[in-house]
Amino acid sequence: MARVTAVVEREWADLVDRDGLRAAAAIGVEAGEGEEPPCPACGTAAPLEAGACGECGLQLE
Amino acid sequence: MRSVLAVCALVALPAAASAQKPEKKPMNPSHEEIALDKQSVVAAPLTHANLAVFPVLTTATGVKHVDYLVLDEGMKKKVVTVVEKGEGGDVNQLELRNSSDRPLFLMAGEVVIGGKQDRIIGKNTIVAPRTSEAVPVFCVEHGRWSGRKAEFSSAQALAHTELRKKASFSNQGEVWKEVSAKNAKRKLSSDTDTYRGVTQDGSVKKSIDGYDKAIRTQLAAFASKDRMVGFVVAMDGKVVAIETFGSPGLFHKFQDKLLRSYYVEAVDHEFDAARPPSAPAAAAITGFAEKARTAKRGVVLDKKSGKTMQFDEGDLKGSEVETTDGSSVYRGAYE
């Protein structure tokens, strides 16, 4: 069961990446206390680097 | 009386000859129409520098067509609005409201500016009348995610063809790369690396002026433009695209934007004016069309207003939009 879940999750992630909709998939995923909110473009939740997402570079501040 | 008979005979002779061979009618003395499919033919090309545009003409008659609204028209009439999705916004989706009583045909690559960042439409699609829905988009302004005005306006332009392909068949990262590459080629700089300069800057307009004037002049003299539903495009002597619409009316709404998207692409291709490329042979056009026709499609959007199908076979990609009864609204194949 765990392997099936992993395969389905991987396929879903590939599909989302292919359509450039990773941010859409991240919608509704709220940042927990002390966590960074996900980047609206790539979904990465990490501290900003010079106001930009460290993963995709989108300028957020 | 004798002279009248002679004139009648002169008129009747070519008529009798053409009655024996009715399948092809010359468009001009040096070119003939090429059958593209059961309902369309390709006419002789309109050319400038490294670009050749072959008009595609419909041969179907008496077909009733839906009068689609398009983005520029809808925004001008204030019956179509595009805003950021929700309170926070979403880089890859915008909220589109079509408050008119006509379906809206939206084309991948149409540029909208404003909101938290400028975007291009990500998929060819139909938005039903009196409907509000999220439409897929791509950011074309890497350096901005802010702004007070949530509502967008149309840049009244389609992205150049390479960027249109990235929008339909690639991802956000590739779209940003293509925007940066095009801005660099056009020597356009902005604080936020937006694409809007390519759509609005005077230097870009000037650079494609030669294409615009030459093709516009040839098109004005083209007798069958009322039957035009699209075109085959060749760049550097090679067929690169076939784009056709369900009716001449819908095509004419996109004609100028589409042509411009090819001019903006062609102007950055290396071209030796002393050795202009020859237009591709008929077999290259029919071969390209056949490859597109037989490519395996997959549905990427399925809505009550119609569905969008795409194919991606490496060097040949394509997109089609159909209504729920199977009528074709748009077909595009690009290399």
For the stretch A6-21, pLDDT in tens is 666 666 655 655 554 5
Q: Which helix (H) or strand (E) holds B14?
A: helix B2-20
Report chain A residues touching chain B, CB-CB < 8 A.
Answer: 17-24, 27, 40-42, 56-60
Query: Angle CA(B201)–CA(B138)–CA(A54) in degrees, nearest 5?
Result: 100
- Which residue among A27, A41, A59 places its CB closest to the CB of B172? A41
Listed by start position, the domains of chain B span: 24-65+207-334, 69-201
> Residue B65 — very low, low, confident or very high, per pLDDT cuts 50/70/90?
confident
A52: which DSSP letter? B
Neighbours of B161 (CB within 10 A): 22
Check CB contact under 8 Å for A27 and B142. no
Chain A partners within 8 Å of B91 (Cβ): 23, 40-41, 58
Segment B263-271 shows an average pLDDT of 95
In this structure, the number of other CB atoms found within 10 A of the CB of residue B222 comes to 17
Q: Does ipTM exceed 0.95?
A: no
Helix (H, G, I), strand (E, B) or coil at B106: strand
Q: Quick one: what percent of chain B has pLDDT higher than 70?
A: 90
Residue B17: predicted pLDDT: 38
Asked if the model's pLDDT at residue B230 lies above 60, the reply is yes
Structure tokens belonging to residue B39: 């309902």
- Tell me the pLDDT band of B9, cut-offs 50, 70 and 90: very low
Q: Provide the whole-model pTM.
A: 0.83
Closest CA to B74 of B160, B158, B167, B153: B153
CA B119 – CA B55 distance, rounded (Å): 30
* Mean of per-residue pLDDT scores for chain B: 90
Residue B49 and residue B270 in contact, taking contact as beta carbons nearer than 8 Å: no
Chain B partners within 8 Å of A41 (Cβ): 91-92, 139, 172
Measured CA to CA, the distance from residue B144 to residue B189 in angstroms comes to 14
User: Contacts of residue B88 in chain A, CB cutoff 8 Å?
Assistant: 40
User: Which residues touch B180 (CB under 8 Å, ≥6 apart)?
Assistant: B142, B193
Mean pLDDT throughout A37-50? 92
Q: What's the confidence (pLDDT) of residue B2?
A: 43
Min distance B169 CA to chain A CA atoms (Å): 8
Backbone angles phi, psi at A34, to 5 degrees: 80, 0
DSSP β-ladder status, B80-84 and B46-48: unpaired
Contacts of B192 in chain A (CB under 8 A): 59
Q: Which residues contact B294 (CB under 8 A, 6 or more apart)?
A: none
Tell me how far apart the alpha carbons of residues B46 and B215 are, in angstroms, rounded to a whole number.
6
Among A1-15, B100-114, B122-136, B239-253, the least confident range: A1-15
Cα B261 to chain centroid, rounded: 8
Give the contacts of A18 (CB within 8 A, at least 6 positions apart): B171
Per-residue pLDDT at B334 exceeds 90 = yes
| Interchain contact B142–A (C-beta under 8 A) | yes
Burial of A6 (0-12, 13-18, 19+ CB in 10 A): exposed
Checking DSSP bridges between strand B104-106 and strand B69-70, what pairing results, if any?
parallel
Q: Chain B: residue nearest A18 by CA?
A: B171
Say yes or no: B192 contacts chain A, CB-CB below 8 A.
yes
Tell which residue, A57, A49, B318, has the closest CA to residue A40.
Answer: A57
Size (chain A), residues: 61
Q: pLDDT by residue (tens digit) across B131-183?
A: 999 999 999 999 999 986 779 999 999 999 999 999 999 999 999 999 999 99
**In this structure, which amino acid lies at residue B52?**
A
Residue B213 predicted with pLDDT over 80: yes
Q: Does the structure show a pLDDT above 70 at B23? A: no
